[in-house]
Amino acid sequence: MATREGYDTDVGNGGETHQHVPVESSHKPEDHLTTNQGIRVSDNQNQLKAGDRGPVLLEDFVLREKIFHFDHERIPERIVHARGSAAHGYFELFESLADITKADIFQRAGEKTPLFTRFSTVAGGAGSVDTPRDVRGFAVKFYTKEGNWDLVGNNIPVFFIQDAIKFPDLIHSVKMEADRGFPQAASAHDTFWDFVGLMPETTHMIMWAMSDRTIPRSLRMIEGFGIHTFRFVNAAGASTFVKFHWKPKLGLQSTIWDEAVKLAGADPDFHRRDLFEAIQRGDFPEWELGIQTFDEAFADSLPYDVLDSTKIIPEELLPVRIVGRMVLDRWPDNFFAETEQVAYCPANVPPGIDFTNDPLLQGRLFSYLDTQKSRLGTANFHQIPINAPKCPVMNFQRDGQMQMLQPKGRANYEPNSLGEHGEIGGVRECPATGFATYPATESGDKLRIRASSFADHYSQARLFFRSLDSAEQSHLASAIVFELSKVSIEAIRTRVLSNIVNVDPSLAARVAAGLAMDLPKASEPAAPVQDLDLSPALRIIRGPLEKETLEGRSVGILIADGSDVSVVDTLVKAVTKAGARPVVIAPKVGGVKMSDGSLRKADGQLAGTPSVTVDAVALALSSEGCAALLKEAAAIQFVMDAFGHLKAIGASEAAKPLLDKAGVVADAGVTGLDEAFVRAATRRYWDREPKVRTLA
């Protein structure tokens, strides 16, 4: 029969088991999922907990084996979040939170705490590109006076799964398919959508993943979330639930899907380069830290469970309180030593911050430490400078591979009394100031079970979709059409559509039409689907964090022989004054001959600096220069893409033939090269979109 790892087994006279060549699994009813020790697994969906909403138990050998094996599958690259960029900076507290937490970092307004923040994609390897449709990791290591605090989250406030035991399955499904080694950094394939269709709890996250949130314009223009519900604990021992939010100073901005695809080819390092160059020129990226705090009574009043990582608490229901800011002001000195070797772990928290029984968080608390040991090759990875706390570290954990410290004395145990006898003694625990777990009362049977309060998988997915701007809804529907068009097994597409019917029938109909499929019946939901109050805060387009500004953006200024010197100089000054970066682009990077005979060097070559790399374009061309560019495919594509990606286009009168050849039609985003262009360049023109592409 088919067994674990696809091997046939024969049992000989002596009871020996002989492994033969791998065979295809038969999936017969009598086949059973087992551990690596051959023990049959009764439940592969839930961790072992004390009660249906209780903590996870360490004795769960099925979880530990599964996560342990998963954590050690890649050496030395991160299994997930392998492609990342990071920077040093600081956190500045705006107001004391001493009333709700004793964490030292939140005590004194105006105090700054050093930190190191890493952004990453999830699905691709270290050598993949920056701009695929993917979740972005958002991990912050605060070097507090009480030890390191790692707030390890994403740019999306929910996750695909509710229980950490499913994390290896999720990642295996979205990674490259096991038999063919592709696709890389892409979710548009059979195995991922097969998992999604079979796991309705993924539905809310799928709405986010297919939205514009996963194709950001810049890492400087994404939100960050702690995802889980944590606890604040104050000096009196009182607990307050808390959710963490990072709000970008530059606002939210995403790309168009076609733009993201072309960026991957034009500049695979687009986000990394953007972050690096912003810091180098002193435009330091900044986010505000916000918190949602609430008590048990508020949590119990909600129609969903705050321990469920597939759920949010809408900001309209519980406003986000801004309490501080993060500024990233220094690029790493060495990419490998810092960005690659940094080790985050959500279990790293100082006194005053504590955990809840969120079953996804509980599994993460185990998994990360184990992963770091595998990836960095030593139990002493905390001694690597980027990981080392900036406060004293005193304990008896000696030796181990790559031990870089030289402890003195013979006492390597606790308690010891050698210090009382003239030798080097040691430190003891301190109940008054040490970390103390909040004494929550727990009770219940030891069971593999999912709480009934986790059963509603569609109401918040519906809330998210219906809260979006109409343009974002079209993008989301089109993204699902694209993804499912890459799924070769029709039954998988049908199953996914059946789930989407529960989210919004009109969305399901749009996707079905885009695939030329019949709309199936809705799948049977595990809990009634509710119509929750909409949350405009979830929007990017025309949402609270969309900013009409040029600050932090870039403007491409296309020049050629004969371009007017004064016009180009005026444009450069106006763009710079507006807080943007002017990028002068020419057919040859060495420059062009300007109207006064001078040579103007370019920041980028036309063929290598397409309009997808900037936020707006200005065509400062003479008749002579325009005539030459009419024969240049790169110039025509430069203008065509800018228009198709809904960007502002400013053009001299002489550039009109190039506009015409590129198919540009006059609208509010097409201007001359005067002040109107700088104003127009502060946004995209969503009303143009139906004229340039067909969306679902």
Catalytic residue list: 81, 154
The rounded distance, in Å, linking the Cα atoms of 198 and 173 is 12
* CB-based contact 90:285 (threshold 8 Å): no
Token pair 């009362």 is found at: 441
Token pair 């707006």 is found at: 616
Name the strand (E) or helix (H) holding 171.
Answer: helix 167-174
Q: Are strands 7-11 and 17-22 parallel, antiparallel or unpaired?
A: antiparallel
DSSP-assigned states of every residue in 336-382: IIIIIT----TT---TTEE----HHHHHHHHHHHHHHHHHHSSTTGG
Cα Rg of the chain, angstroms: 28
User: How is the chain split among helix, strand and coil, in percent rounded to 5?
Assistant: 35, 20, 50
Which 3-state string (H, E, C) describes 533-599? CCCHHHCCCCCCCCCCCCCCCEEEEECCCCCCHHHHHHHHHHHHHCCCEEEEEECCCCCEECCCCCE
Q: Would you call 227 exposed, middle or buried from its count of C-beta atoms within 10 A (0-12, 13-18, 19+)?
A: buried
Give how far Cα 254 sits from Cα of 214, 222, 603, Å.
8, 9, 24
Counting DSSP H helices and E strands in the chain, the numbers are 18, 22
The rounded distance, in Å, linking the Cα atoms of 162 and 398 is 37
Beta bridge partners of 246: 224, 289
**Is the bond into 439 cis (omega within 30 degrees of 0)?**
no
